[in-house]
Amino acid sequence: MSLRRLPALDPLGTLLSAVGVVALVFLPFVVFKANRIVPGEARALLEFLPAWAALSFVLVLALVALVAVGVSNARVRLAFALAGVIAVASAVAAAGNALTPPGNQVIRISPGAGFWLLLIGLGLLATDAVTRMRPGPGMRVLLLVLSVLAAGLAIASGAFDHLSIMREYAVNSDRFAREARRHLLLAFGSLAAAVVVALPLGILCHRIPRIRAGVLGVLNLIQTIPSIALFGILMAPLGALAAAVPWAADLGIRGIGAAPAVVALFLYSLLPVVANTVVGLARVSPAAVDAARGMGLTRGQILAHIELPLALPVILTGIRIVLVQNIGLVTVAALIGGGGFGAFVFQGIGQTAMDLVLLGAIPIVMLAFSSALLLDALVDLMNRAAR
């Protein structure tokens, strides 16, 4: 039998399966630490799973790999990838329960590199399956909501409570809610302020070509200032303002904390929104504007009813860029006392407590990813409506 007669192997599935085998065989699935800051030691599957469970775990993963390599139906691939995710999550939950001595609050059971690699591989497999199904915007949002709900329920059920990251959460639970609110407030607040300023500025740049290069040049320049430096530089004038103007201090404007963070994020947010507004308005066909003018619409009416709605998808793309960028940059604001999830990240880095770092980093990534997905779906929806 020649090689050609074999059914075609799925290249991505083969690659991911190989990665999965490496992760399972050579990398630690969970790591046992005597306390939260010491380096841990690896624990093998059989040390925390009974033989039958370990066997079925490996069997499920082998099945997933077989499907990934040989089956081309996207729905089947998605189903098996999700089954793999459930298996990996259950195994890590079981490890937490089995390896923690009752009542012990000091030792830490951390998911190891093998766990993360398996999870990423399965996630890629699922993402690829979803991409192949070409879901519409509504379906994508539904899938996102369902996976967030599933993950939330799994965490709320307490299955993972013995794992290191959830231990850190238990210690910081009231602070977690506060930093989450702060993170969202900083990211969305500065975005809202930026849109209020950038939209008219973009319209102005579109109407008066002479100022366009200057405005975009200055905004470009602001982008080259590193975020840490901009936060720091703004501390001085805001501190001086608070000292000189009593009501400014009453409003909460101070040299450290949220105020310099909001101002810096606002400044960074201007460029993408202004630039995209200009591009979006420039793309509106002159014929449409002419027709509206012929119908006797005023300039304001043309702007509100013709130009802005037609430019909206491009403007929204700019807003998506800003939102994702802001969610990431708010992290850095924690360095100047701005709060947000970055507080956990930098505190964790300072204490070399990596579980605390992850407690901050994972929500940031999830938040950025979800907002990107939601806004992408919205842009898609508008483009479809426009057609």
Query: Considering the rule CB under 8 A, would residue 232 count as an interface residue with other proteins?
Result: yes
Q: CB 268 → other proteins: shortest distance, Å? A: 10
Q: What tokens does 113 get?
A: 């590199």
**How many chain residues bind other proteins (CB under 8 A)?**
45
Residue type, 291: A
Q: In whole angstroms, what is the distance from residue 47 CA to residue 27 CA?
A: 15
- Of 202 and 338, the one with the shorter C-beta distance to other proteins is 338
3-class secondary-structure state, position 101: coil
Q: Which is nearer to other proteins, 12 or 54 (CB)?
A: 12
* Smallest distance from other proteins to CB 340, Å: 11
**How many Cα atoms within 13 Å fall on the side-chain side of residue 56?**
9
* Minimum separation from the CB atom of position 208 to other proteins (A): 19
For other proteins, the closer of residues 6 and 51 by Cβ is 6
- Label residues 60-69 b or e (16+ Cβ within 10 Å = b): bbeebbebbb
Nearest to 263 by CA among 244, 277, 248: 248
Residue 127 contacts other proteins per CB under 8 A: yes
Beta-carbon count within 10 A of 38 CB: 10
Q: How far is CA 252 from the centre of its chain?
A: 29
The correct pick among 349, 351, 384, 385 for binding other proteins (CB under 8 A) is: 349
User: In whole angstroms, how far apart are CA 299 and each of 186, 197, 277, 333?
Assistant: 35, 20, 17, 42
DSSP string, 137-189: HHHHHHHHHHHHHHHHHHHHTTTTTTBHHHHHHHHHHHHHHHHHHHHHHHHHH
Q: Name residue, tokens 């201007």.
A: 270
Q: Which are the contacts of 241, defined by CB distance < 8 A and separation ≥ 6?
A: 248, 253
Residue 279 makes contact with other proteins by CB under 8 A? no
Contact status: 328 vs other proteins (CB under 8 A): yes
What is the residue whose two structure tokens read 């701005």?
A: 338
CB nearer to other proteins: pick between 184 and 228: 228
CB 112 within 8 A of CB 27: yes
Residue 229 in the binding site for other proteins (CB under 8 A)? yes
94 counts as binding other proteins under rule CB under 8 A: no
* Region near other proteins per CB under 8 A, out of 46-54, 178-186, 307-315, 359-367: 359-367
- Determine contact, residues 140/113, Cβ cutoff 8 Å: no
73 binds other proteins (CB under 8 A): no
Per CB under 8 A, the list member of 141, 159, 354, 378 interacting with other proteins is: 354
User: In this structure, are residues 85 and 123 in contact, taking their beta carbons and an 8 Å threshold?
Assistant: yes
Q: How far is the CB of 205 from other proteins (least distance, A)?
A: 19
Report d(CA 331, CA 341) in Å as an integer.
6
Q: How far is the CB of 376 from other proteins (least distance, A)?
A: 8
Shortest distance, position 291 Cβ to other proteins, whole Å: 33
Report the residue number, 117 or 310, with the smaller CB distance to other proteins.
Answer: 117
Write down the least CB distance from residue 253 to other proteins, Å: 17
Which of 91/126 has CB closer to other proteins? Answer: 126
Task: CB nearer to other proteins: give 33 or 162.
Answer: 33
Among 324, 343, 378, 382, binds other proteins (CB under 8 A): 324
**Cβ within 8 Å of residue 152, ≥6 positions away:** none
Which residues lie near other proteins (CB under 8 A)?
11-12, 113, 124, 127-128, 131-132, 221, 224-233, 235-236, 324, 327-329, 331-332, 335-336, 342, 345-346, 348-349, 354, 357-358, 360-361, 364-365, 368-369, 372, 376
